Structure 1
């Protein structure tokens, strides 16, 4: 049964998107599929930025440490970056340019400037090590990298590295050592205006975000301008509906929303629902360089943040922090999560621990530009194991069987999402694109779940061979490949282990070659040479017996996962 909040949300969204309104929704065919579109949405991200930055020009936008910048100041610097990229490096429409850095104001400015030129932005995971960075550069065909000092050092460790690098927040000595130009120097002496802006259209590519799936190396999910605009607008509608409900209830509405940016911008959550929606609604962005629960509490208190989004681990650490009561966090109205499941008991615990704010969660993927389903406040408390209903008015969610047939409520099948926000496919991977995106426009998520009679989605399992650790997708095949590189390993199997804080951690079991000896910690340490820290196994067992196999001779991962999850639980207890 729908809650009163569900009904009120539906009514508010219907009014916001009705015919004749600024956010009117129409139906239009895109790549052969009829989809719901926002009739008056900007055709490209260039127009999106032009309109919203000018509209919010006088407001304060970015706060990073002692730095405070208005929307106008950020946009002006972004356009200067665009001019430097064009004049100094010849960056033009369709060129792939990577951003490899932690959260800095320059990340946002570089993204805006590159999109202004029509370049395709490639956000790179800041945790990636040299091998992973080298793969991303080669796979995407990147022409230029904009990197901070730590990523510059890692890029310098790539054998035969030939892609030019522009360094951000880096000393002159380190930049010179690695043959990089400094962005500040280029901006000080370079041009301030672009000499030519190519025409852009809704179907032009705007970004490639890498996502770890079940096939080993990460795949590049390619978004079009239309897809990203509609992803941002989908979230915009949800926010405006809540604003209307708050106003109608007589609740205090601050003159400016203030968000703590606690997740990385290279993730789709940081990029679309947080950064781009903040630009659209004039929301202030309090930037964290890296996650720290104590620092988050301090910033929420100091800046009077009104909204929080992070992986479930983050809200758990905040409500459990020993110094939480030292800080005033009552200004936060909603404690939202995404990127991983939130244990049901944490939902009620959060509501009791921080009664001035309400829990919320969303479900979306890189391939959907973060858009999918959502649930919040009393609706979430009523269904703490659900990820909510399809985000109205442009998103459809269906449960399909292996033949692509839609299943009835309560029937379990693969969760599939269709909307104008979906990416167009995977970069230079036609087979994987065809496998994941069917001709009817459905993206097959690889998650297994069901819809109840009211359209609420419940995720129960995954088809894909991935681990989700604190919001980071980890390919089991990629970790297995790193383990197999150890000279003593004969067979290996990698799987997720349950973890109260991170949701899942990486577990592995290996069987050694005859006559070989290796301690579990030694094998774990070996994988650190090839993997980002978050992919390194947290637990590894050496089996005295050959790993069990199926009739196909594949390792029986299902039985191994069951056995070692029980061992892990018993040892943890």
Structure 2
């Protein structure tokens, strides 16, 4: 099958203008949000709860969620969510505005709990399921959630914090160690009708934690309008593509997608779960990533879409058998930049499934840019154009001036999908959001004359390993707790599969020696596994510093990468 040609800009523009003029779903107006003017979807539902209720009616008993031998329809998922919402309100006293944390891996119960909290007008806090006790303690203390819905492994980490933080624990799927069982709450609920709450579009619905350059993850506060703006924007792009391609939908004739990334990230919750529930796309859920099993599920369920971090599509390509993946028509990536060489290999490997990519952040409800089909094959280094019709992107210099096309600068994004702020961090919020509503991403990029964005670097001291953001400072802080370490620098190590891995250079205290295996075990005691350094170097001398007395990370990284590490895992 020949590679698809790039889309005709004139036909694409004509299709977009037609939809904006004729389809009331995509009617664009203007609204003031937190003191700034934004383009918005005028006819969008007021809240995610309204969107859930409408989708449950539209798609009814059609199969939605597939997990192992479980199959749940659109309507049944919403019924369960409403039952849990009513039980949380009646039994546990959860009310509008309260925070409820989710601490579990990918299970159907995650989706039901997420929807239930939202249906109450409460704020859901999806905690990173790879976090350990110290990280979970920080997240729970920071967000202030007093109720936690968890699976058994996360419950075991959280239970010792119960008295200190005043927690009420709900356990899903298993028994023992919690105040309530998820299953009992649903079974004992008085009604499966949606709670009667008045939710404003700009009310908070979620706090999602993301690692920035600070020593602790930041709580990104998202609103109902923000998430719905993202979902409507993606739906608009899909409708434009369908129009341009003569009625061929990018979701396929019988849409189905594999959920193989964590739901606690916006790529999982928004790009896959929420979008699928809105547009009527089946979703096959994996508890744990396994590329061979992923290929089996795609073929067994005849799934049409795949979205994962770049390493997953690379591993999927390697794992697939001679039968290929004939039902797959789109292989998307998010969370990190996909290497250009992977784009070419994917296009050659799969007869029908073509690569696509997107750029967005937790702070933008995952909305930003998108690129697919022939456009992506022609520009594999690009992350695409700004998603129409309510998103604007510009490239700015340090003086706050827009730079000429082709020059690099910081990427600024403005759309109604932008977050409200960082939880409990007013100074960080003020630095990141301008008075007129632009979000300063901390990513460096450039834009060509055709509006294609290219990510070139990042300002933030962050490593992106397989789509997971890792704060270098957080890892360094843990390293310094080891009694033999005098100096430490954490940095990214390029990797073909994961994109980046965590590198560490340490210099021991006078008279001390460092056992790298012991050091790595020590770091892993408190940090999630994905944050633990995989390449460790021992420096024979003190680490170089800049005139500001800070470590010269660029030089340290450059020298380290020229020599084999003392430890490589």
Shorter-chain TM-score tier: over 0.9
Cα 1:330–1:543 shift into 2, 3 Å:
same
Offset at 1:567? 2.7
- TM-score, normalised to structure 2, is 0.95
Is the counterpart of residue 370 in structure 1 residue 369 in structure 2? Answer: no
CA shift at 1:252, angstroms? 11
Q: Deviations over 1:475-532 (max 9, x none)?
A: 0000001100001111111000001100000001111111112112211111011100
Are 2:229 and 1:261 aligned? no
CA distance in structure 1 between the aligned counterparts of 2:435 and 2:542, rounded to whole angstroms: 43
Aligned to 1:483: 479
Structure 2 counterpart of 1:32, from 10, 32, 35: 35
* Helix, strand or coil at the partner of 2:25: coil
2:379 paired residue number: 383
Give the stretch that moved more between structures: 290-299 or 11-20.
11-20
Cα distance, 1:179 vs structure 2: 3.5
More divergent stretch after superposition (377-386 vs 238-247): 238-247
The aligned counterpart of 1:56 is 59
- Please say which of residues 359-368 and 240-249 is displaced more in the overlay: 240-249
The answer for unaligned runs of 5 or more in structure 2 is: none
Q: CA RMSD in A?
A: 1.9
1:526-545 equivalences under 5 Å are: 526-545=522-541
The equivalent residue for 2:200 is: 201
- For 1:234, the equivalent position in structure 2 comes to 233
Match of 1:75 in 2: 78
Aligned match of 2:90 in 68, 87, 91?
A: 87
Gaps of 5+ in 1: none
Q: Deviations over 1:63-120 (max 9, x none)?
A: 1011111111111111000011001110001111001111111111111111110110
CA deviation profile, 1:430-451 (whole Å, cap 9, x unmatched): 0000111111211111111110
Mapped partners of 1:358, 1:285: distance in 2: 19
* 3-state secondary structure, aligned to 2:326: coil
Secondary structure of the corresponding residue to residue 276 of structure 2: helix
Kept in 2: contact 1:399–1:412 (CA 8 A): yes
Structure 1 residues 462 and 568, CA gap change in structure 2 (3 angstroms): farther
Shift of 1:294: 0.4
Secondary structure of 1:551 counterpart: coil
Tell me: CA distance 1:5–1:298, structure 2 relative to 1, closer, same or farther (3 Å): farther
1:343: how far off?
0.9
**Residue correspondence of structure 1 range 346-495 to structure 2 within 5 A:** 346-495=342-491
Residues 348 and 568 (structure 1), Cα distance of their counterparts in 2 relative to 1, 3 Å cut: farther
Give the C-alpha shift of residue 565 in structure 1.
Answer: 2.5
Shift of 1:405: 1.1
Q: Supply the distance in 1 between the matched residues of 2:173 and 2:276 (Cα, whole angstroms).
A: 24
> 1:17 Cα shift?
2.0
Distance 1:348 1:569 in 2: 31
1:18 alignment partner, SS class: helix
Preserved contact between residue 422 and residue 443 of structure 1 (Cα < 8 Å) = yes
Corresponding residue for 2:288? Answer: 290
Alpha-carbon distance in structure 2 between the residues aligned to 1:545 and 1:58? 67
Counterpart in the other structure of 2:552 = 556
Report how many residues are paired: 563
Please tell me whether the aligned partners of residues 247 and 253 of structure 1 are also in contact (alpha carbons under 8 angstroms). Answer: no
How far apart, in 2, do the equivalents of 1:104 and 1:496 lie? 32
How far apart are 1:569 and its partner, in Å? 9.8
